[in-house]
Structure 1
Amino acid sequence: MPNALKNFRAIDLYSGVGGWSLGLRLAGIDVIASYERWGLANETNFKNNQHQAQTVDIRRLDLSELPPNVDIIVGSPPCTQFSYSNRGGNGDLADGLQDIIKFLSIVDHIKPKLWAMENVPRVAKVIEHELKEGGKLERFKHLNIATKVINMEDFGLPQRRKRCIAGNIDFKLLESYGAYLPKRTLGEVIVALSEENILDPIYGIQINKNELRDHVVEDVLSAEEVRINRAGKICHPVYNSMAFPDPLNRSVRTITATCTRVSRESIVIEPPLSPNNLRRLTIRERAALQGFPVNFQFYGETYGQKIKMVGNAVPPAFSYYIAQAMLNRKASEVPSLTSFSKRLTSPHPLSQSAKPEKPGIRYPKNRTFRLAIPSLRLKSGVRFELGNSFIGEEPRWRTAFFFGTSKSIHSLELNNDALSFLLSRLSPITNAAILEEISSLTDQLKSVDFCNLQRVWNHSGPSGTHPFSLLDTLSKAGASMISRLEEREPAPSDLVSELIRAQYKDDAASLPGLTKLSKNAHLILAGVLVCATANNEIENRAKTIGLQPIISTHM
């Protein structure tokens, strides 16, 4: 490295395991100190990056304790309050801003030559808004804060990770590096880590498989787990579809700090060497996708802690290029990450591989179920769904219909009144065909063991009808009902409007999303007919065992 670079001294705030620090270190910048409140993350940072890593609550950090002669400040204030995945995007923004204010206060106090802050994309608009007159960041306007939402996939990372970068760096120079970098895929990482002699796909580091830590492959997903994951991704009650399993021939979705066996966010793969066996990623696979060298060690105590370490980190394969932009290097002059393969040695002692948690075999009695009926689902949350609720400890299964917008959700009552309303308005020929479908569905529902449905779902009772079987029955009935209506009712949109007016009276005209319902009238009518039939059968079965009926709120 040129001697001039030795003069660049940096500190890393909210440093986590050192993703910023490693990238800057590889670029020749001297990270003299980092600050993080999580002790295990600091241990990981210190052992891998060999610099002072202080365990401290940065909100309470006294500015006088910061080192002198700092040229560069980087950091990643916690993103939890800003993330849309946190309580549907309803995090405590005022609390989250406290960390951004502290970061900018340190920048304002030290006045470094260069600085950069990383956070979720939403923060770009938050900063823009709060810099205005009267905003909570107005006093930092003199810092000339620039923001840019960047997809790290464009910088050789095998991950579609979008993040807001705020600072005073040359973003045009940073973006120019992308033209020199390859596009990497999830499959490249999975295959590379499955070899006996492993070649790091980003850094070119070569190690033997027995030296690899945290690459413990957990049990494959059970049939039930596969079904829940598939439904959550392909047929989610609210969100639009995504691929399942995750395709290996492109970059992966964002690596997160949490990962359960059954969630929409979990990345599920079908390994090339083990087809038909779906599983989650190992910690090491996640780390490699996050741009960490294969010999970077994570010193967490549990599997969950290590997943959090990886998911919360700034990918060093990206921070390296920010560092190069800070050093004002032209794209053609930036060394490739593979040029550091000999220098990136493992810290000692090596970490102990964390063991994955065992798949759940016990579930609470009130385990919830809520899945859209596949044939009766439209995009943007308009759907018929099957779910359970509880009156005290008593489970009640029921179908429901939801429409509108995320901020104004509405429903229709799916009961005998709705069924009679539609049947009285369909043509006689259509009516006969529909009654035939209803009769067939009713016969199928009579074989459903509704009494033990919840116990089958929480794995505490005898074998019987699984909720998925009921869901499939309703989906098939929905598809058949749609076909019948399309054959005999060319334009039933007026009937949908009548049904909504019957239930919502004078409020019907102001409801959102009515145009979408009219355009998909065959599906909406089919859903009401199928689900009202199902709810009637469920209510009749409940009466036979003395349960109170569910009271309708419309009609």
Structure 2
Amino acid sequence: MRFSDFYAGGGGWSLGLALAGMQQVMSAEIWPVANRTREWNFGTSETEIDIRKMDPTSVPDCDLIVGSPPCTQFSYANKGGNGDLHDGMQDVRSFLRVIREKKPRYWVMENVPRLADILRSELREDGSLAEFADLFASIDVFDMSDWGVPQRRRRCIAGRYPREALLALRGRRAPTLAEIVEGCASGVDPVWGYLCSNVTDNDPGASLTWEEERINREKKQNHPIYNDMAFPDVPDATARTVTATCTKVSRESIVVPDGKGGYRLLTAREMAAAQSFPLSYQFPAKSQTDRVKMAGNAIPPLFTYLVGLAVKGEAIPDTLPSFSPVGGAVAFAAQTRARGNSKKADRSFRAAVSKLRFKSGMSFEVNNANGRWKMVFNLGGQGRVETLSPADISGIVGTLSDDVLKAIPEINANDVQDAWVNSTRAEHHPFMIVDMIEGLIPAVELDWGAADKLLERAYAIAGSDVPNKASHNQELITIGLVLADAFNRKIG
């Protein structure tokens, strides 16, 4: 059977379908780095193709057309879900125009889960994709781990293909994160099962610094809105979703022990293995960033292999196939960026005080927005979160913070900014200050008769009643208001 691969990227579709015994007749991708990767592995000759401008009639006849239009504009990770949907839909429409023109027996499109609801809406009679509604047989959101991919990766899978045959192939055991790390170290492929004698892209690089570790923890375990994540990641479970842009200070990064008492990110090879790329698959990009991007953006090849088997009506063999790049060559080492201090002098900071964080956006945080270090109160709630400024807090608290002021040491704002810019582990580093404020909570003694109305005053400024969450945490929030005022007066 013959297939064409659109928005082919680093080869997630092409690899899986080739391993299922299908013949590729065309692949289309505009990114030269990804095209070179498929050339390296499959021996094809690729040219950069802008699918938005491509003539659909130029596509060869084939049995199956697959594609993964760029997901950036649809992802909730992009600007909190405020990406340019109109721009993203241009790629979806371009792909569907090919399907309309070529009328393959089967077709499959993959993207982030959010696209499923967008498609269901836009395929309605008055929707922007109404003209393509007859092409679709199913729109689903699947978790790739159900098919044995060692990653909890939910994806929209839409199109017209043997859906029930694919569902019947579920149930393979997915390797754990610990098995991914061990497999990459030993050369025994954790997914495909064969021995790879030369594993590339598995240099762990530098471990997290104390500051990077703290920022990573804050984003995962102390986020003012989102649910908490494990730090480090749980070794005896499948990996969380691999992304293309994870960094040492991102919430999305996957963190494991470095074997030296600290922590590190996954290597590019471990990320690719979590995506189910065979250990022998090569990513011949000059930079580590591009290798990670290709691995993180791909559709898992194990899943596409099973799609290929479903299309062909075949069962999973007892032994999965192995893969060798054309010519057997391994890729050169990627360029890595040396660690250095390239932080801007006005580097921004914000961190919630852990015991004064109540979720749903309600928290006390220290930040340096607009060049001034201060502690504010985020009132929480749906949509835009109102924030009480130092002036607001001072007007509410009055003289109640006088005694607490004595417990806070002298703080020079310039020293705090300098420690933050230069990652200096000193008592005036902002994370140390956040911890200092938290440590003062048990020592705050208030005249509760005088403090009783602070909460009502706080929410009155925003023109709202006191929500239940705030009422249930009245004592801590009142202490937080007093601590915030004392801190702002001390550093102001």
CA displacement 1:509-529 (0-9 Å, x = unmatched): 4xxx72221122122111111
CA displacement 1:126-176 (0-9 Å, x = unmatched): 100101122111001111341110110111111111100001123333222
Aligned to 1:288: 273
Change in Cα spacing, 1:479 to 1:233, as seen in structure 2 (3 Å) is farther
SS in 1 for 2:294: helix
Q: Aligned partners of 2:4, 2:425: CA distance in 1, in Å?
A: 60
Contact 1:418 1:532 in 2 (8 A): no
User: Displacement, 1:469?
Assistant: 1.3
Contact 2:57 2:102 in 1 (8 A): no
Q: Aligned partners of 1:51, 1:260: CA distance in 2, in Å?
A: 32
Q: Aligned partners of 2:76, 2:42: CA distance in 1, in Å?
A: 32
Residue 469 (structure 2) pairs with residue 516 (structure 1): yes
Q: Aligned partners of 2:55, 2:45: CA distance in 1, in Å?
A: 17
Q: 1:212 aligns with which of 199, 207, 227?
A: 199
CA displacement 1:89-124 (0-9 Å, x = unmatched): 101101100111111110010000000000000000
Q: 1:412 aligns with which of 372, 378, 388?
A: 388
Aligned to 1:496: 455
User: Displacement, 1:411?
Assistant: 2.1
Contact 1:19 1:316 in 2 (8 A): yes
Q: Aligned partners of 2:340, 2:236: CA distance in 1, in Å?
A: 31
Change in Cα spacing, 1:263 to 1:461, as seen in structure 2 (3 Å) is closer
Residue 176 (structure 2) pairs with residue 185 (structure 1): yes
Task: Output the aligned Cα RMSD.
Answer: 2.2
Aligned to 2:48: 55
Aligned to 2:98: 106
Q: Aligned partners of 1:462, 1:254: CA distance in 2, in Å?
A: 32
What stretches of structure 1 of length at least 5 have no aligned partner? 1-7, 424-434, 540-555
Q: Aligned partners of 1:535, 1:130: CA distance in 2, in Å?
A: 50
Correspondences of 1:83-232 after superposition (within 5 Å): 83-179=75-171, 181-195=172-186, 198-208=187-197, 211-232=198-219
User: Displacement, 1:345?
Assistant: 5.2
TM-score by length of 1: 0.84
CA displacement 1:330-353 (0-9 Å, x = unmatched): xxx2225x4313x54564432112
Aligned to 1:428: none
Q: Aligned partners of 2:302, 2:246: CA distance in 1, in Å?
A: 22
Identity percentage over the alignment? 37
Change in Cα spacing, 1:174 to 1:50, as seen in structure 2 (3 Å) is same
Residue 293 (structure 2) pairs with residue 340 (structure 1): no
User: Displacement, 1:462?
Assistant: 11
Residue 442 (structure 2) pairs with residue 449 (structure 1): no
Q: Aligned partners of 1:34, 1:369: CA distance in 2, in Å?
A: 44
Change in Cα spacing, 1:493 to 1:77, as seen in structure 2 (3 Å) is farther
Q: Aligned partners of 2:452, 2:153: CA distance in 1, in Å?
A: 42
Aligned to 1:15: 8
SS in 2 for 1:206: coil
Contact 2:396 2:454 in 1 (8 A): no
Contact 2:253 2:265 in 1 (8 A): yes
CA displacement 1:280-299 (0-9 Å, x = unmatched): 11111111111100010111
Correspondences of 1:292-371 after superposition (within 5 Å): 292-329=277-314, 333-336=315-318, 338-341=319-322, 344=324, 347-371=327-351
Larger gyration radius, structure 1 or structure 2: 1
Q: Aligned partners of 2:349, 2:77: CA distance in 1, in Å?
A: 20
Q: Aligned partners of 2:163, 2:339: CA distance in 1, in Å?
A: 45
Q: Aligned partners of 1:377, 1:142: CA distance in 2, in Å?
A: 49
Change in Cα spacing, 1:38 to 1:517, as seen in structure 2 (3 Å) is same
Q: Aligned partners of 1:66, 1:402: CA distance in 2, in Å?
A: 54
Aligned residues: 489
Change in Cα spacing, 1:246 to 1:479, as seen in structure 2 (3 Å) is farther
Contact 1:47 1:348 in 2 (8 A): no
Change in Cα spacing, 1:55 to 1:406, as seen in structure 2 (3 Å) is farther
Q: Aligned partners of 1:388, 1:260: CA distance in 2, in Å?
A: 22
Q: Aligned partners of 1:375, 1:461: CA distance in 2, in Å?
A: 25
Correspondences of 1:374-523 after superposition (within 5 Å): 374-390=354-370, 395-414=371-390, 415-420=393-398, 423=400, 439=403, 441-459=404-422, 465-481=428-444, 495-501=454-460, 503-504=461-462, 507-509=463-465, 514-523=467-476
SS in 2 for 1:407: coil
CA displacement 1:30-63 (0-9 Å, x = unmatched): 1111000011211111221234533210101112
TM-score by length of 2: 0.94
